Amino acid sequence: MFGFGSKKSSANALSWDPACEEPVVKKSICTGEATVGFVDKNTGKYRDVRKVSTPAEIEAFCKEAGLTETKIRTIY
């Protein structure tokens, strides 16, 4: 039986296509809230992955996405 929060993923890696998507940090101008996700290079549509509040969380996102460099573009 499955309960709230009991779903386990088979891997910690994020699924994304580097040819079609770009990893970004998206910040709100008004509140300063930040999320990480991917922008489709063709349409510009943003796909949210999760909210982040520290540089360590952004670094963890980079590791999960398989990025060798922790510097990713910030959009507003």
pLDDT tens-place string over residues 15-47: 899 999 999 999 999 999 999 999 999 999 999
What pLDDT, on a 0 to 100 scale, did the predictor assign at position 69? 74
Query: Residue 4 pLDDT more than 90?
Result: no
Q: Judge whether 49 and 75 are in contact, CB under 8 Å.
A: no
In angstroms, rounded to a whole number, what is the distance separating the alpha carbons of residues 48 and 55?
17
Which has the closest alpha carbon to 24: 63, 71, 66? 71
What pLDDT, on a 0 to 100 scale, did the predictor assign at position 26? 97
What pLDDT, on a 0 to 100 scale, did the predictor assign at position 14? 85
Query: Residue 1 pLDDT more than 60?
Result: no
Length of the chain: 76
pTM: 0.78
Tell me, what DSSP letter sits at residue 33? -
